[in-house]
Amino acid sequence: MINEAIDHMLIENRKHFMIPGDMVASVSADNSLRHAFLLLTKVRYAKIPVLDNDDHFLGLLSLAMITEPMLGLDDVSLAPLDQLCVKDVMQTDVVTVADPYDVENILHLLIDNPFLPVVQDDGVFTGIVTRREVMKGINYIGHNIDKVYRLEPLPESTAEQR
Ligand code: AMP
């Protein structure tokens, strides 16, 4: 179980926890790779969510997923950019969360994922939780926890039992 004080202080800052869907750059599954290539290059994010026309979350797209089909043995071809669309190359095995405020689960999953898409039970995408925003929360706790809680070291014998 996560420490109650840490959980409480992170949740106090909940308005910064999730970046809402309307602030997240995304592509449509039916977009051409040419459109996605231009968009990803412009926004400069490593990976962005792929949605359908009803805002359902379908997967993630990175520049590497777009350029991979462009590579021949010793040449690069632009033709796949018009022949393929986003759903042909996107990543679909994605870790998502339903509750952006389940701190224990979020901290655990952010160890291996730079961000987590937040997806409702009906599949609708509502935003992302990023490592960066959570790190800001941890930084805040590191600087402020002793203004809210009294922290005292345990006697050595008790600490060693952990
Ligand atoms: P950060 O922790 O801010 O560096 O973000 C980590 C990753 O989350 C980025 O590389 C993107 O893949 C994704 N990301 C963060 N913010 C956005 C956004 N506004 N729109 C789309 N993707 C984002």
Mean pLDDT for each consecutive 10-residue tract of the chain (162 residues)?
A: 89 84 97 96 96 98 96 90 96 96 94 98 97 93 93 78 63
Ligand 1 contact, 114 CB (< 6 A): yes
Tokens representing residue 8 in the block: 């409480």
Q: Tell me how far apart the alpha carbons of residues 70 and 65 are, in angstroms, rounded to a whole number.
A: 10
Q: What is the pLDDT of residue 11?
A: 85
Q: What is the pLDDT of residue 157?
A: 67
Q: What is the pLDDT of residue 156?
A: 78
Cβ neighbors of 136 (< 8 A, separation 6 or more) are 13, 16
Burial annotation 51-64 (CB, 10 A radius, 16+ → b, else e): beeeeebbbbbbbe
Count other C-beta atoms under 10 Å from residue 136's C-beta: 14
Q: What is the CA radius of gyration of the chain?
A: 20
Ligand 1 atom closest to the CA of 60, numbered from 1? 12
Q: What is the pLDDT of residue 42?
A: 96
Cβ neighbors of 112 (< 8 A, separation 6 or more) are 95
Q: What is the pLDDT of residue 99?
A: 93
Of 9, 17, 11, nearest to 128 by C-alpha is 17
Q: Tell me how far apart the alpha carbons of residues 153 and 150 are, in angstroms, rounded to a whole number.
A: 10
Q: What is the pLDDT of residue 72?
A: 87
Say if residues 88 and 36 touch (Cβ distance below 8 Å): no
Ligand 1 contact, 19 CB (< 6 A): yes
Ligand 1 atom closest to the CA of 115, numbered from 1? 8
Q: Whose CA is nearest to atom 4 of ligand 1?
A: 132
What Cα–Cα distance (Å) separates residue 138 from each residue in 5, 51, 67? 12, 30, 36
